[in-house]
Structure 1
């Protein structure tokens, strides 16, 4: 009996072992995997990359999450090509030779989040190609040969957040091409043949937060280029070598926090288009041929913290350039032509955290002393400024100096006008006068001239400042008389020199004077007297003017008569006959029926 029980126990153990072995064998049965492909059961990934496939393989595991078909020779995607892969998250068909995608090719991929079709040969995407991709968030169709984006191409991608359309042959984007992309946040348009901003198409993307244009044929940004993009926070325009100007209202309606316009052809900071961007924090204008940052023109950018202008050919950053920017923390102007940067350019230099001045021909003098005093608190990005133009300090960077030697090294020499001989000129009306003003100092002083009303004179007009610092008064008038002041200034101080001008007017007996109202706008800048501007004309001038006027009048009349003569000749023969008729009539001398008399009337007709 005990032996029977033992046999039964052994049979039970054998059955259990066979059952466990069967389970183990079943667990080791491999998942289906297409030939030439590699399948990862743990990652639920199918990798068919670089397999010279000409079509999408069959027999794919239906629970796959990642499907890699890159670097093959697939040419066409047919209707419902992937209908069994209902759990697929990522599909990559980049670097094939795709030329056609049939309508509903991706139907069934209701779980797909990422679709890449980059670097193929697609010329057009038919409407309806993306039907069924209700959860797609990223689409990459860059690097194809697409010429036109048709209306409603992406209307089935309501969940799409990011799309790359760059490096195509795009010449036109239809007005409703982006209709339906209610969730789109990021759009890349790079290296296309577009020559204008597709404003009408972009108005469909009211939820867009980031827009990138690159290597387009733009020559200007017209007004209202980005209207209805009120949620846009980042705008990047790069590598547009023909982009020279931004219209005054080109950025109107935007509330940007980041703006990049780099590797373009802007010759000046676009102050007017920028002034309403009060939320702007980051501004990059690098690699544009910008030479000046003028003073007091960026103050509307109240929240600006970073300005990058690398490799722009900057010659000068004027005093007050960043006035009003109380949050300004970073300035990167490396690789320019700056010789100095004065502390007066900043609203508050104490707020500055990072300063890049490297690769500039810096003159190490008193104007840069503030940088040395703050060098322990400033981050130079690993590239401290280096003295270039100073022979004594050439090649030394700002971290090589001790605090004790600074006052004797970083020095300036005050401006000094060299020739201080009195200049008093007396001339008759109509002559041209030249005043000289030469100055010396370290750094080289700048020279301005003030008129007798102490108003600065410009380089244009009848009274103007020449490039060599001299003052020219052309066709001097009596009202130009007075004392002019030459002022030479640099960082160490100013010097001035007054000069006098006396202009004698023509005698009133031989000249007739006429007073013209001041609504004539003359660029000479000469002051008006009692709201009028006086100009003298002699009798000879008036006679010549009157004679020319009469000659012009008689010439016009003569031409008219000649024209009428030839015109009448062209109308045929004219009959020069006249008929004269005499018609007698009666007239009463009074109303009582008394005496009456006959009167006559002549009528003449010319035929």
Structure 2
């Protein structure tokens, strides 16, 4: 009995073994896997990477959906190279030695969604190379040596949504290069050798939403560079070491929500090009030598939530720099040269959620007290700011100070003007005057000068506030007279000092003047008691001018007569008579009525005087 059961079990196991072997054989038959490729029937993947292949294998499984042929030595793709792989969804040919892609190479790949040809040696892509890819959505041709895009290079890729073409050697993009890309939403380009932004080519991309420009070789971004990209929402310009300015209308026509311009050479925030971007949410100006964010110049960016300016040269963020930005949530100004960040720079510090302030030479005083008090509500990105210029707190993480320690350590000293001695200056018109205003305080006070009408004076002009805190009045005029005010201020308060200037007009130098009433009104003349204009004349000066004028006229006339006399002598003997012949009018009338041509002439002689 037990022997029968054992035999039955052996028969069942044998049947199962044969069945398994048959399945395996069928699988191998359906899935040819050429050496040195590895095939995965579950993922429907053929992996031929790192196989030292010089050509793509021909006997690949028709059912494959993923093909990886990276890190080989393939140099050429020929016509209809992949025509049997009708089910393929993704193909990666990156990191080869590809230099030639023939026309019609990808015919038959109707289902392909992703094609990667990055890090090869392509210099030109012939028109028609991408024929047969009606459903392709991603094309990666970055890190090649492509020199130009010809007209209609991508015309067969109507479903394409993203092109990655950065890190190439593009010198020219034809105006019709992007024709046919009716679905393209994201484009990465390298413009290191381009002499201009390919505005006309970009105008073909009617639905483009994201544009990344790398290595632009321009010093200034021209006006209307992206004028036709009405649906563009994200613009990234990066690694452009020569780009110094953005022209006032360079972003005209755009309605961006995100704008990045990193690793460039901007020395100032491009306020004018940005001001119309009222829907901008994200702004990144990192790694530019920007030194100052001025007050009240970003208020047009009503919806701005994030500003990144990492690795710049920021020395100061002015009071009111972010005034009007009611949605402002994130500021990252780490790795700069800031000594402080005052609460007055913000519309409200209550809306701020993230603050990057590390790696700045911060002076820990009362100006940063607001940061300490809001430390529980702020995210510092895991990098707490530390004191650098404060002797007492140098190297400290001032966020760790207790509420008892804060008032005694984070302090400021109110400004004090040292030279309190009155300055009253009286000078003649045309002289240059300098007023001095020396102050101290902690932090170092900022000095402003106000004119007699209490208007701030700028660092430029004839009357200017110097960087050392002094006031200079060059070529003083009577209308400059008045009281000027020096105001020294810091976070703890301010101090002021008035100075006085009186400018005397030029005195009259005439000894015996006489006045003409009611003749001419000169702008420089001052009205008399009766309202008439009085013009002083110097008699000696008047006589001398008349004498000089007469002598000059007499001399000129004499020279002319002498010249005429000698010129006439050089012409020989002078005739004293002249004979003139003429035809009387009556004789001419008679001749017209007759048939002859004879006309009688008359003569008379004149005596020349």
Same fold per superposition (TM over 0.5): yes
| In 2, Cα distance between equivalents of 1:406 and 1:206 | 57
Bigger mean CA offset, 210-219 vs 255-264? 210-219
Q: For residues 42-61 of structure 1, what are the structure 2 equivalents within 5 Å?
A: 42-61=42-61
| In 2, Cα distance between equivalents of 1:327 and 1:354 | 13
What displacement does 1:308 show? Answer: 0.6
Q: For residues 396-407 of structure 1, what are the structure 2 equivalents within 5 Å?
A: 396-407=396-407
What displacement does 1:70 show? Answer: 1.3
CA 429–132 in structure 1, closer or farther in 2 if over 3 Å, else same: same
Is 1:481 the counterpart of 2:481? The answer is yes
| In 1, Cα distance between equivalents of 2:82 and 2:538 | 98
8 Å CA contact retained: 1:63, 1:88:
yes
8 Å CA contact retained: 1:305, 1:328:
yes
| In 2, Cα distance between equivalents of 1:603 and 1:91 | 116
| In 2, Cα distance between equivalents of 1:460 and 1:342 | 27
Instruction: Give the SS at the match of 1:403.
Output: coil
Bigger mean CA offset, 49-58 vs 151-160? 49-58
What displacement does 1:375 show? Answer: 1.1
| In 2, Cα distance between equivalents of 1:183 and 1:236 | 20
CA 177–191 in structure 1, closer or farther in 2 if over 3 Å, else same: closer
The equivalent of 2:81 in structure 1 is 81
Bigger mean CA offset, 279-288 vs 577-586? 577-586
8 Å CA contact retained: 1:219, 1:244:
yes
What displacement does 1:45 show? Answer: 1.2
What displacement does 1:126 show? Answer: 0.8
CA 292–538 in structure 1, closer or farther in 2 if over 3 Å, else same: farther
The equivalent of 2:154 in structure 1 is 154
| In 2, Cα distance between equivalents of 1:66 and 1:537 | 102
Q: For residues 99-248 of structure 1, what are the structure 2 equivalents within 5 Å?
A: 99-190=99-190, 192-248=192-248
The equivalent of 1:258 in structure 2 is 258
Note the alpha carbon deviations across 1:160-186, whole angstroms, 9 max, x for none. 111111121110111111111111111
Instruction: Give the SS at the match of 1:391.
Output: coil
Is 1:26 the counterpart of 2:52? The answer is no
| In 2, Cα distance between equivalents of 1:262 and 1:405 | 40
Instruction: Give the SS at the match of 1:483.
Output: strand
| In 2, Cα distance between equivalents of 1:110 and 1:386 | 59
| In 2, Cα distance between equivalents of 1:466 and 1:415 | 19
Q: TM-score, normalised by structure 2?
A: 0.82
CA 602–216 in structure 1, closer or farther in 2 if over 3 Å, else same: farther
What displacement does 1:469 show? Answer: 1.6
The equivalent of 2:571 in structure 1 is none
8 Å CA contact retained: 1:195, 1:219:
no
What displacement does 1:460 show? Answer: 2.1
| In 2, Cα distance between equivalents of 1:260 and 1:162 | 19
8 Å CA contact retained: 1:375, 1:398:
no
CA 580–137 in structure 1, closer or farther in 2 if over 3 Å, else same: farther
8 Å CA contact retained: 1:234, 1:257:
yes
The equivalent of 2:424 in structure 1 is 424
Instruction: Give the SS at the match of 1:426.
Output: strand
| In 2, Cα distance between equivalents of 1:61 and 1:432 | 91
What displacement does 1:413 show? Answer: 1.2
| In 2, Cα distance between equivalents of 1:15 and 1:386 | 80
Instruction: Give the SS at the match of 1:500.
Output: strand
8 Å CA contact retained: 2:171, 2:191:
no
Instruction: Give the SS at the match of 1:261.
Output: strand
CA 433–580 in structure 1, closer or farther in 2 if over 3 Å, else same: farther
| In 2, Cα distance between equivalents of 1:537 and 1:48 | 105
CA 537–195 in structure 1, closer or farther in 2 if over 3 Å, else same: farther
What displacement does 1:20 show? Answer: 7.6
CA 478–95 in structure 1, closer or farther in 2 if over 3 Å, else same: same
| In 1, Cα distance between equivalents of 2:506 and 2:72 | 94
What displacement does 1:487 show? Answer: 1.4
The equivalent of 2:324 in structure 1 is 324
Note the alpha carbon deviations across 1:497-521, whole angstroms, 9 max, x for none. 112122222234639998559xxxx
CA 48–584 in structure 1, closer or farther in 2 if over 3 Å, else same: closer
What displacement does 1:471 show? Answer: 1.7
Instruction: Give the SS at the match of 1:213.
Output: strand
CA 388–48 in structure 1, closer or farther in 2 if over 3 Å, else same: same
The equivalent of 1:353 in structure 2 is 353
8 Å CA contact retained: 1:514, 1:537:
no
8 Å CA contact retained: 2:458, 2:464:
yes
Note the alpha carbon deviations across 1:19-62, whole angstroms, 9 max, x for none. 98765443221132223222222211111112222222121111
| In 1, Cα distance between equivalents of 2:439 and 2:310 | 33
CA 326–22 in structure 1, closer or farther in 2 if over 3 Å, else same: same
Instruction: Give the SS at the match of 2:213.
Output: strand
**Would you say how many aligned residue pairs link Structure 1 and Structure 2?**
535
| In 1, Cα distance between equivalents of 2:462 and 2:113 | 70
Note the alpha carbon deviations across 1:425-468, whole angstroms, 9 max, x for none. 22222222222211111111111222212222222222222222
Aligned-pair Cα RMSD in Å: 3.3
8 Å CA contact retained: 2:364, 2:398:
no
CA 275–515 in structure 1, closer or farther in 2 if over 3 Å, else same: farther
Instruction: Give the SS at the match of 2:367.
Output: helix
Instruction: Give the SS at the match of 2:404.
Output: helix
The equivalent of 1:277 in structure 2 is 277
The equivalent of 1:454 in structure 2 is 454
Bigger mean CA offset, 259-268 vs 400-409? 400-409
Instruction: Give the SS at the match of 1:370.
Output: helix
8 Å CA contact retained: 1:287, 1:312:
yes
CA 125–393 in structure 1, closer or farther in 2 if over 3 Å, else same: same
Instruction: Give the SS at the match of 2:425.
Output: strand
8 Å CA contact retained: 1:136, 1:159:
yes
Note the alpha carbon deviations across 1:88-143, whole angstroms, 9 max, x for none. 11111112222211111110010111111112221111111111101111111112
The equivalent of 1:69 in structure 2 is 69
Is 1:333 the counterpart of 2:333? The answer is yes
The equivalent of 1:5 in structure 2 is none
| In 2, Cα distance between equivalents of 1:49 and 1:351 | 51
| In 1, Cα distance between equivalents of 2:578 and 2:140 | 96
8 Å CA contact retained: 1:258, 1:282:
yes
Bigger mean CA offset, 140-149 vs 323-332? 140-149
Note the alpha carbon deviations across 1:397-446, whole angstroms, 9 max, x for none. 12220001211111111111112112112222222222221111111111
CA 334–580 in structure 1, closer or farther in 2 if over 3 Å, else same: farther
8 Å CA contact retained: 1:260, 1:285:
yes
Give ranges in structure 1 of 5+ residues lacking alignment: 1-12, 518-535, 558-575, 588-599
Give ranges in structure 2 of 5+ residues lacking alignment: 1-8, 525-534, 557-573, 587-601
The equivalent of 1:581 in structure 2 is 580
| In 2, Cα distance between equivalents of 1:40 and 1:603 | 131
